[in-house]
Amino acid sequence: MSRSASYKIYQEVFARWPQQALRPDHQLQDVLSKAVAERYQTYTPSMEAEEMSKAKALRFLAQNRYSDRFELKGPMLQPKSQPTYFEDLVREIDEAPNRTWLERVGKKLSGMIRFQ
């Protein structure tokens, strides 16, 4: 059955999609799987080509194929206003899930108060 081919690709991708530690209750793969399930409720065989291309594109994203072809580098990653912005952002995202309540309040207050 042609429907199962694209649906199997979707399920395979959702199973291998990385978990987000920052907001563990809201995962991208859960949202996408609900959207796919809704589309397959009104599925017709004429939709198979479009669904297959969408499923393959999602698989390529999960495999990280586009990062080599469209690599971000140079001045795009170092804005003149704040050259370390993206490095700081990645560090904050990595540290945020492990912070205590007091550390979160301290970060929030330090963001409100700026000395110039």
What digits encode the pLDDT tens for the residues 26-44?
999 999 999 999 999 988 8
Q: 10 with 64, same domain?
A: yes
How many domains does the chain divide into? 2
Q: 57 with 91, same domain?
A: no
Q: 48 with 78, same domain?
A: no
**Structural domain boundaries, residue 35:** 2-69
Q: 17 with 47, same domain?
A: yes
Q: 57 with 12, same domain?
A: yes
Q: 8 with 29, same domain?
A: yes
Q: pTM for this structure?
A: 0.70
Mark which of 35, 50, 69 sits at the end of a domain. Answer: 69
Q: 54 with 10, same domain?
A: yes
For residue 60 the two structure tokens come to: 């390529």
Q: How many angstroms separate the Cα of 89 from the Cα of each of 86, 94, 95, 100?
A: 5, 9, 10, 19
Q: 82 with 65, same domain?
A: no
Rg, C-alpha atoms of the chain: 20
For residue 35 the two structure tokens come to: 């959207």
What digits encode the pLDDT tens for the residues 58-74?
999 999 888 878 888 88
Check if the beta carbon of residue 55 is closer than 8 Å to that of residue 9. Answer: yes
What digits encode the pLDDT tens for the residues 77-100?
888 899 999 999 999 989 988 999
pLDDT at residue 43, rounded to an integer:
84
Q: How far apart are CA 90 and CA 67, in angstroms?
A: 17
Residue 88's identity, in one-letter code, is D
pLDDT at residue 3, rounded to an integer:
53
Q: How far apart are CA 103 and CA 96, in angstroms?
A: 9
